[in-house]
Homo-oligomer: A and B are copies of this chain.
Amino acid sequence: MNRNKGTWEELFEVNRERFIEEWKTFLRFPSIGADPAHHPDCAVCAEWLTAHLAAMGLQAELLATPGQPAVFAEHCGADGAPTVLLYGHYDVQPVEPVDAWTSPPFEPELRNGRLYARGAEDNKGQTFAVLKAVESLLARDALKINLKIIIEGEEESSSRGLAAKLDEWRDRLAADILMVADTGTLNDGTPTIIMGLRGLIHLAVTLRGPSHDLHSGLHGGVALNPISELARLLATLFDEEGRIAVEGFYDGIREPSAVERALIEATPFDPAAYEKSVGMPPIAGEQAFTPLERLGFRPALDINGIHGGDPNSMKTVIPSTATARMTARLAADQDPDRCLTALCDHLCRHTPDAMSLTISEAGSAGRAFRIDPNGPPVKLAQGVLRELFHCEPICHWEGASIPIIPALAAASGAAPLLVGFGHEDDCIHAPDESFSIDQFRNVYLYAANLLVAAAQTSTKKTPAHDASRTD
């Protein structure tokens, strides 16, 4: 590995400008998977990516799914060597509010060493850095493992298409390590191995009152107001101590093990640094747990969008409806269906008799999962990161969700290994998303070294990840 280390750094420098230009091309596709208007853009993006992987020397093909197409590529034939399955996604989050962007979200712009665009980090940037590492390994004939790549187009909206195909693609995806570069580092950028992700459920609610918008003078104080009632309804979801006040919601949560507890207690977390980065102290949620425990081992319920009436002008109406969208992040062993039912029941029970509540788009995008800190993939990554960055990597339970991971791990038989170099400053899912060239380079170097080191590991399956248990 040492022998190659210099090589990869040099190779990166030699190719830096080309890598950035190709990455920009990837970012110009407005591949918003959740928006039907952008589905043609997703298809074009996937076609471009397939061609790009083929040009790199991989066997690449576009795979149809019931949703957006997936890109599959492989480079096999290293008999006896382990198989790494790289997972990524080419779809991106919506761009609203588009006016808040400094430069247009699909016209990548390099400013102060950072590339700004929707998807610059999540996940086009991180995945493309891994792909460029693969390209370098292929160019040097240094890829001594079997590599499979699956890049889907619906991670941000449900992974519906890929999920539907997992059973059919079981052989195609079979692997030992499920490599994912779609996560971040803690604090100052110390390399971070993600030890677990939360599950995700989602729903939209519409509260209907009057049969049509009413004049708020002629009806104010007589007709129930859907906005006020929605506010009251949403307020019932939380108690004074920051807990989710939904009966049965916390049922079944798996406590951290002693090893996990020791690791999380050893993880540095600076509330002042958090406040500086986020603009608010980390004071939400259950006060009985530390911020890192709340993110890693506890659920959270967030209202992600709300709308009612005319928020932009002095329109004196009592609107006929008001709408909110919410998602809950689930802890390990919480049952998504039971949580969803508990949430819907609570909302219905607290709706005024004279109004009707419509719940739509209710669903589960996946369960939470946790990875065994003592499993071989984690040990492999720790060795690579330690040598590359000259420090001890952090083990972190991140709080976000990559809903397909547990199912993909189960279908492929591979143990998940989640290492990425995202950072809070990247503003993913928000205006002015960006990824620095340094971060991109870190992903590249980590991936190159990991794929080299993986050749030395045994192909014996690790039973350590709990994916099969949680999906």
Contact = CB atoms under 8 A, between A and B. Distances in A.
Interface of A: 34-35, 93-94, 96, 156-158, 184, 197-198, 200, 202, 209-225, 227-228, 230-232, 234-235, 237-238, 274, 278-286, 291, 294-295, 298-320, 322-325, 327, 329, 354-355, 361, 398-401, 424, 427-432
A429 B317 contact: yes
A283 B314 contact: no
- Between A156, A299, A424, A429, the greatest number of chain B beta carbons within 10 A of the residue's beta carbon is seen for A429
A232 B238 contact: yes
A230 B302 CA distance: 12
Contacts of A432: 212
Contacts of A307: 306-308, 311-312
Contacts of A401: 217
Contacts of A284: 221-225
Nearest to A331: B221
Determine how many copies of this chain the complex contains.
2
Contacts of A209: 279-280
B218 A295 contact: yes
B329 A311 contact: no
A375 B177 CA distance: 89
Nearest to A206: B311
A306 B329 contact: no
Given A210-B278, A303-B231, A315-B304, A298 B221 contact: yes
Given A218-B295, A220-B329, 19 more contacts: A34-B314, A34-B315, A35-B313, A202-B314, A211-B278, A212-B279, A215-B429, A216-B304, A220-B285, A221-B300, A221-B399, A230-B306, A231-B232, A231-B235, A231-B306, A302-B318, A303-B309, A307-B307, A316-B429
